[in-house]
A and B are shown apart, each in its own frame.
Chain A
């Protein structure tokens, strides 16, 4: 079990064992991130794989400012964004048609809902909605940052987030209805 500093040093020396430990240390949490951004498990696997290769390739740029986990997470998120941008031109038109606007929300107990169920709901979102929702709500990016990252306007980011929320609320309502 290496210390974080030692682990980084050994990974920079391209030591296979250290890289494996690095991977095992961060992969479970990052896989959770990937599953949120991906539309299915196969895509999540790809994001995780590509993301960790970038992590190992660019580890020399990590300056120790901020936590290592945060840095790895940003790399994984950026990988997901790049994949989205690569496929964006094929997805955008479809997403608008799929968008549903739900005005009313129903309050109720959501404590019992599982992560897997929430994950399934996120995956059902159109890709653009999913990206904006993940980046803004969970990763904490501002609309301005999201607009720069995804090459969209701030208003688009805001409207997509709003629609994502509405869609999720509707789906949650359906789940609650079926549970009664």
Chain B
């Protein structure tokens, strides 16, 4: 060795004392990505960009689907009066008379201009004609029973004034029962023929026809028609009519609990459990279902703290100043002391097992299909689910003595990422406990689209989980 370096240790110590080298650029890029996600600068919030984007996407999709479904549902409701066939059970009128109301359109026209009214009436007449020929089902009239037919072709009384007060309801009450066409023992064909031949003669700007077999009931029916602006008379509502044409669309709300076992394919040490409690809203339509909601899940990780510390050996009183009391006859010294703690110079390492707890917010958007038969029902559904960490409870570490000086704490529990996406697939059964309350049990498979841990050290394959979702559904 040279004179400068007595041994190889000195050589290396000296040469590496101030050794520096710029690391490659990609190292910082990777650190930044792992700290904040792609392209991100941190802001201290647990809600990362991925979480915000996820929530936004789910909300937009939910809004579009809900709007579409509700809109199509409304259209269905609006289309039903076009058929203009409604049966009113005559029993409602305390007689065996069956009343059929055809094409009763309540129109509120404020401007009553005779010339324009003629054109309007012609247009409406054509419209009505078209709609009448679209009748998909024949009018059912029980033969041999008295039937009361109400139709547009029945002559009305002329309006007393050509300029009725603005905003007046142009419902024309027909006083004379003889103006109504009453067919007894009529047939379906007769009714249709009567209806068809009279279309060209429709000439009213405010045509409104009503039955008045029982004036009280008729008024009630008319009032209902006014309110709904639909040409539907009788006790049945639009929604109940809709239910005749297909499955009923409705909402259900659920409260469920889900224990899950999470598996890591390449390292069983990381397998753990989670427990979730969630509320969900389910929109059912024609056998299909759309489900979203919000839930909270709890999970935990076990690991170790590696603690470097200096052991506390004791203390002594250090005199840092001496003053003298001269007030008395004798000169007495006053010692000013401080307690100095003494630590062992040898660093020690302690391994402490620990457990961290995490809480996630879960937002699923599931689409599926199901069916119900009396009390039992089944369903399958699948879709994305977003998990956002909302709380992490990191366990404190404990050294052998609280007086030891901790030099460094190395947490060997891998850090979790704040946001992750999963694909959820489930199928289950429901059992009706009452008309509105069901019990549901649903095995759930969940595939994580990214690892729940930071990939800096744990480059694990994507985990998956199996769980059983159980709870109650309330049908509205």
Q: Are A and B bound to each other?
A: yes
Chain B residue numbers with a CB within 8 Å of A54 are 410
A110 and B23 form a contact (CB under 8 A): no
- Confirm or deny: B374 has a beta carbon within 8 angstroms of a beta carbon on chain A: no
> In the complex where A23-B28, A118-B11 touch, is A108 in contact with B1 (Cβ < 8 A)?
yes
Distance, CA A61 to CA B8, complexed state (A): 36
Chain A residue numbers with a CB within 8 Å of B410 are 54, 58, 75, 78, 82
A115 and B30 form a contact (CB under 8 A): no
Chain A residue numbers with a CB within 8 Å of B456 are 49-50, 53
B20 and A65 form a contact (CB under 8 A): no
Chain A residue numbers with a CB within 8 Å of B170 are none
- Confirm or deny: A31 has a beta carbon within 8 angstroms of a beta carbon on chain B: yes
Contact with A along B3-24 (1 / 0, CB 8 A): 0110011011101100111111
Chain B residue numbers with a CB within 8 Å of A31 are 20-23
Contact among A13, A29, A35, A168 for B8, CB-based, below 8 A: A168
A118 and B454 form a contact (CB under 8 A): no
Chain-A contact segment, one of B38-46, B153-161, B198-206: B38-46
Chain-A contact segment, one of B253-261, B353-361, B400-408, B438-446: B400-408
Contact among B8, B21, B36, B408 for A32, CB-based, below 8 A: B21
Chain A residue numbers with a CB within 8 Å of B4 are 110-111
B2 and A107 form a contact (CB under 8 A): yes
438-471 of chain B: CB within 8 A of chain A: 454, 456-457
Chain-B contact segment, one of A91-99, A142-150, A152-160: A142-150
Q: Which residue of B lies closest to A17 (CB)?
A: B41
Chain A nearest Cβ from B1, distance in angstroms: 5
- Confirm or deny: A100 has a beta carbon within 8 angstroms of a beta carbon on chain B: no
- Confirm or deny: B76 has a beta carbon within 8 angstroms of a beta carbon on chain A: no
Distance, CA A133 to CA B41, complexed state (A): 39
Contact with A along B353-393 (1 / 0, CB 8 A): 00000000000000000000000000000000000000000
Give the number of chain A interface residues (Cβ < 8 Å).
57
> In the complex where A16-B42, A78-B306 touch, is A29 in contact with B20 (Cβ < 8 A)?
yes
> In the complex where A20-B28, A53-B456 touch, is A110 in contact with B5 (Cβ < 8 A)?
yes
B407 and A111 form a contact (CB under 8 A): no
B13 and A50 form a contact (CB under 8 A): no
Q: Which residue of B lies closest to A161 (CB)?
A: B9
Q: Which residue of B lies closest to A28 (CB)?
A: B20
Distance, CA A162 to CA B40, complexed state (A): 48
Q: Which residue of A lies closest to B40 (CB)?
A: A16
Chain B residue numbers with a CB within 8 Å of A65 are 405, 407
Q: Which residue of A lies closest to B397 (CB)?
A: A61
Distance, CA A32 to CA B142, complexed state (A): 100
Chain B nearest Cβ from A173, distance in angstroms: 11
107-164 of chain A: CB within 8 A of chain B: 107-111, 113, 115, 118, 122, 133, 137-138, 141-142, 144-145, 148-149
Contact with B along A69-97 (1 / 0, CB 8 A): 00100110010001000000000000000
- Confirm or deny: B47 has a beta carbon within 8 angstroms of a beta carbon on chain A: no
A45 and B24 form a contact (CB under 8 A): yes
Chain B nearest Cβ from A77, distance in angstroms: 10
B1 and A107 form a contact (CB under 8 A): yes
B346 and A144 form a contact (CB under 8 A): yes
Distance, CA A65 to CA B343, complexed state (A): 14
B9 and A108 form a contact (CB under 8 A): no
> In the complex where A53-B456, A137-B9, A138-B16 touch, is A27 in contact with B1 (Cβ < 8 A)?
no
A115 and B44 form a contact (CB under 8 A): no
B21 and A35 form a contact (CB under 8 A): yes
B28 and A27 form a contact (CB under 8 A): yes
Chain B nearest Cβ from A149, distance in angstroms: 6
Chain B residue numbers with a CB within 8 Å of A23 are 28, 31
A118 and B16 form a contact (CB under 8 A): yes
Contact among A82, A111, A149, A168 for B349, CB-based, below 8 A: A149
Chain A residue numbers with a CB within 8 Å of B405 are 65
Distance, CA A36 to CA B456, complexed state (A): 21
B35 and A115 form a contact (CB under 8 A): no
Distance, CA A10 to CA B147, complexed state (A): 86
17-49 of chain A: CB within 8 A of chain B: 17, 19-20, 23, 27-29, 31-32, 35-36, 45, 48-49
27 contacts between A and B (CB under 8 A): A14-B44, A16-B40, A20-B32, A23-B28, A23-B31, A32-B16, A32-B20, A35-B21, A45-B27, A49-B30, A49-B456, A50-B457, A53-B31, A57-B411, A74-B308, A74-B408, A75-B410, A78-B306, A108-B1, A110-B1, A110-B2, A133-B12, A138-B12, A141-B347, A148-B349, A165-B8, A169-B8
* A residues with CB within 8 A of B: 13-17, 19-20, 23, 27-29, 31-32, 35-36, 45, 48-50, 52-54, 56-58, 61, 63, 65-66, 71, 74-75, 78, 82, 105, 107-111, 113, 115, 118, 122, 133, 137-138, 141-142, 144-145, 148-149, 165, 168-169, 172
| 9 interchain residue pairs of minimum CB distance | A16-B41, A14-B42, A28-B20, A32-B19, A14-B44, A31-B23, A148-B349, A109-B2, A137-B9
